[in-house]
Amino acid sequence: MMDTALQTPATAKTTPSPAAWGRVRRSRHLADRALKVVCTLFTVIGATVLGWILLMLLVEGIGGLSPAVFTETTPGPGSQGGGIANAIVGSLILTVLGIVVATPIGVLAGTYLAEYGKGSKLAEIIRFVNDILLAAPSILIGLFVYMLMVQPMGGYSGWAGGVALAIIAVPVIVRTTEDMLRLVPGSLREAGAALGAPMSTVIISISWKAARAGMVTGVLLATARIAGETAPLLFTALNNNFWFNPNLMGGVANLPVMIFQFALSPYENWRELAWAGALIITLSILALSVVARLLLRKDQVR
């Protein structure tokens, strides 16, 4: 009687019929194809818009290129000719200054998070602050440096611009350094410690050496990140039409602000130079991104 009761229709498990399984498979297949079509459509839309922008940039930028662009300074309002040599040099100086300041800070902070802090409360706070800086609008960083340096120093300067770019670059280097060091096998560290090497020697001679390609990639990505920043430079280095002062005090010519100002001007010559500058800075960022990816791929292969 007990066995019969357990096998009553009310409690027995029913299995779907072949027709029901067929309907389920068809609905899943349709859902899969629909999602694939939607993803492909939006990918094509994004690629089309990006290709349109790049094509326009190439057409307009190549038309504005000439030898004078790389040899002459930016012209005054209404002037003909001229170039953007001072803006190119100024951008290189500001970018190098920002990376020189950001690299040791970012590498050491990332090393602390990966090697020393790990799951500590201080490390969690540092990661939280780093994530906020990664997503912070660059114009807020420009305003911060304006209050911190420009006002106390009594004017714009390349030093303030470099510090603003460094603040933007630091979180990128921190995140990349930590991620790359975490990929280093723990057995390498244990081997160094077994030989009696102190923690600092293990990090410098083993961990950094094993992750150096990825760490360099992080520095290159940070360089590409800050090379085209305009908002922070508007509040710190501003711009001018001359060569930079050796002490970097006063406005410093740079490509991002020059493009911003010249693109909005009523002068055809200025707009042509803006297109040429936009093409130069885009190709530079593209080259840095390609080099960074090649280094990262080489590190992954190893």
- Count the domains in the chain: 2
pLDDT at res. 13:
52
User: In the predicted model, what is the mean pLDDT of residues 219-242?
Assistant: 91
Q: Do 49 and 77 fall into the same domain?
A: no
Q: Do 219 and 145 fall into the same domain?
A: yes
Q: Do 230 and 98 fall into the same domain?
A: yes
- Grade residue 81 by pLDDT with cuts at 50, 70 and 90: confident
Q: Do 274 and 236 fall into the same domain?
A: yes
55 exposure class (CB count in 10 Å sphere: 0-12, 13-18, 19+): exposed
Higher pLDDT, 22 or 189: 189
Q: Which domain holds residue 34?
A: 17-64
User: With contact defined as beta carbons under 8 Å apart, do 143 and 235 qualify?
Assistant: yes
Q: Is residue 158 part of a domain?
A: yes
User: In the predicted model, what is the mean pLDDT of residues 63-71?
Assistant: 89
pLDDT at res. 171:
95
Summarize pLDDT for 248-297 with one digit per residue, the tens. 888 899 999 999 999 998 999 999 999 999 999 999 988 888 888 887 77
pLDDT at res. 69:
92
Q: Do 57 and 74 fall into the same domain?
A: no
Across 47-61, 93-107, 122-136, 286-300, least confident range: 286-300
Helix, strand, or coil here: 71? coil
Summarize pLDDT for 164-173 with one digit per residue, the tens. 999 999 999 9
Summarize pLDDT for 26-46 with one digit per residue, the tens. 888 888 899 999 999 999 999
Q: Do 186 and 293 fall into the same domain?
A: yes
Q: Do 205 and 166 fall into the same domain?
A: yes
Nearest Cα residue to 87 out of 215, 247, 277: 277
Give the CATH number for residue 275: 1.10.3720.10
Q: Do 120 and 58 fall into the same domain?
A: no
List the structure tokens of 184. 């280093």
The C-alpha atoms of residue 117 and residue 274 are separated, in whole angstroms, by 46
- pTM, two decimals, is 0.84
Higher pLDDT, 120 or 301: 120
Q: Do 140 and 287 fall into the same domain?
A: yes
